[in-house]
Amino acid sequence: RCKLHLKAGLAVARNPATMRTSILLLLAALGAVSIIATPTALDGEWQPIKNVTDPHVQDLGSWAVAQHNKVSISRLRSAMVLSGEVQIVAGVEYRLDVQALQGDGKDAMYKAEVFEQGWPTNTTRNLISFE
């Protein structure tokens, strides 16, 4: 039989087996909370994009090429994002490695930086750079 004593408003077990079980349960609960509460990417840190085949990521690459074409004499087409990084700030900033076809039909690699806010509704995008 386990006796519980109140000490400073807390129940304290006097039985060593009960204390050991209580401590193990407490540690398990704390471990579970720390796993759940740990963010996958800290705000402000650049993280690799894990799934560049995601339609949203590919759409960002195509959008960046279309924006570049509006202000450039080059006419790029068939954009495909091959890799990239993402940063959580007041929105989401993307650094994308984009492969696109040049006017002569040759593939070329470009680096696009896109800032996006309000996704998936009321989305605003800005092309920060395209090189």
List the domain boundaries for the chain: 4-37, 46-130
Kindly report, residue by residue over 5-49, the tens digit of the pLDDT.
Answer: 555 555 555 676 766 776 655 455 445 434 333 334 567 899 999
Query: Considering the entire predicted model, what is its pTM?
Result: 0.66
**Strands of the chain, DSSP E:** 4-7, 10-13, 46-48, 77-88, 92-101, 107-117, 124-130
| Pairing label, strands 107-117, 124-130 | antiparallel
- The radius of gyration of the chain from alpha carbons, rounded to an integer in Å, stands at 26
Closest CA to 115 of 87, 84, 93: 93
| Token digits of residue 97 | 């490695």
Kindly report, residue by residue over 92-114, the tens digit of the pLDDT.
Answer: 999 999 999 999 999 999 999 99
CB 123 within 8 A of CB 59: no
Kindly report, residue by residue over 66-92, the tens digit of the pLDDT.
Answer: 999 999 998 999 999 999 999 999 999
Identify the architecture of domain 46-130 in CATH: Roll (3.10)
The C-alpha atoms of residue 20 and residue 108 are separated, in whole angstroms, by 63
